[in-house]
Structure 1
Amino acid sequence: MLNVLSILIGLISLIIVIPSQIPLLGWGNWLALPLVVTGIVVGALSSTNAGRNFCLVIFAIAVIRLSLGGGII
């Protein structure tokens, strides 16, 4: 059950992260990061790793985008 919850949290954060890849919308990644971290924690508490790994990939995408934009853009 926690794995499904982690995947759902990851999908919601993915909906926020995808449009945030557009220039000048990078602030959306800052909104998505706490949600993704919550998904990682919930996924770590589950018995399987799929939800946690999905959230880790989304986290990596958001962090790389933030680092390319200098953390702001």
Structure 2
Amino acid sequence: MLNILSVLIGLATLVMMIPAILPFVAILNWLLVPLALLGALIGMASSRNSGRNFCLIVAAFGALRLFAGGGIF
């Protein structure tokens, strides 16, 4: 059950990250990366690893976007 919740959090975060690719909306990633990490934390409590891994990939994508834009753009 926790794995499904983790995957759902990851999917919701990924969908919200799509508009955050645009400049001046990328500041939204400051909220979405911790949300993805929360999903990974929930996924750690599960016996399966797929939800945790998916959330970590989503968090890495958001962090890469923040790094590329200098944290603002």
1:67 equivalent in structure 2: 67
Distance (Å, rounded) in 2 between the aligned partners of 1:12 and 1:39: 10
Is the 2:2–2:46 Cα contact (8 Å) retained in structure 1? yes
Give percent identity, aligned residues only: 49
Q: Report the Cα offset of residue 25 of structure 1.
A: 1.0
CA RMSD of aligned residues (A): 0.8
1:16 equivalent in structure 2: 16
| Post-superposition CA distance 1:15-67 (Å, at most 9, x none) | 11111011221111112122111101001110000000100110010000000
Distance (Å, rounded) in 2 between the aligned partners of 1:18 and 1:53: 19
Mean Cα displacement is larger for which, 31-40 or 62-71?
A: 31-40
Is the 2:26–2:66 Cα contact (8 Å) retained in structure 1? yes
Q: TM-score, normalised by structure 2?
A: 0.94
Gap runs ≥5 in structure 2:
none
Gap runs ≥5 in structure 1:
none
Distance (Å, rounded) in 2 between the aligned partners of 1:51 and 1:18: 19
